[in-house]
Amino acid sequence: MNKLSRREEIKACAARLFRKRGYQATSVRDIAAALGIEAPSLYNHINSKKEILEELLIHMGEEFIGGMNEIKNAPISSLQKLERLVALHVRLTIENTDSISLITSEYVHLEGDCRLAYFKLRDAYEKDFRSILLTCIDEGEIKDVNIDLALFSMLSTLRWLYSWYSKNTDINPIALEQEMIKNLINGIRS
């Protein structure tokens, strides 16, 4: 378990540096230095630099998919599901600010099977999100907007929430959640 803990420590540190300077611009020596050790020491805990990015991104993807599955199957209205999705993004953003920032930019460095797996997670999530949004429209809960544009708009804002949150860490998470719901959903309600 200690090894796992050290491993997680490395991943968290790497996430912070990847966010600040980008994945490619962060060397394994940078990561090691930030941990106060030498670069080769890292390889007692990880197999490669790429592996770190892969695990960070896949993990976030799975967090989103997990949250989506809970919401999807909950016995609540579609509009409430939409609100819960916003809350999910807010929570994951606050709990994983660094990792989540990688989603918007560093996924380009994924390769091979992992790249495909990541895209699969992302596409599945967006498909479910779209489906919930569509149901809201069908049920007349929200305005008859261009659904793809509305989906894109919501996701853009939610994906960039980490950058806003980083400059406003003092905000109450619940207040942020309410504000986001107001901002993203109430504007398109019937």
Residues near DNA (CB under 7 A): 2-3, 5-6, 26-30, 32, 36-41, 43-45, 47-50
**Residue 49 binding target from its own copies, DNA, none, CB below 5 to 8 Å by type:** DNA
> How buried is residue 144: exposed, middle or buried, by Cβ count under 10 Å (0-12/13-18/19+)?
exposed
- Exposure string over 32-63, b if 16+ CB within 10 A, otherwise e: beeeeeeeeebeebbeebeebbbbbbeebbeb
Q: Is 105 in the site for its own copies (CB under 8 A)?
A: yes
41/49 Cα distance (integer angstroms): 13
Rounded to a whole number of angstroms, the minimum distance from the CB of residue 103 to DNA is 20
Binding-residue pattern over the window 138 to 157 for its own copies, x denoting contact by CB under 8 A:
-------xx-xxx-xx--xx
Interatomic CA distance for residues 94 and 185, integer angstroms:
20
Site residues, its own copies (CB under 8 A): 20-25, 104-106, 108-109, 145-146, 148-150, 152-153, 156-157, 159-160, 164, 168, 179-180, 182-184, 187-188
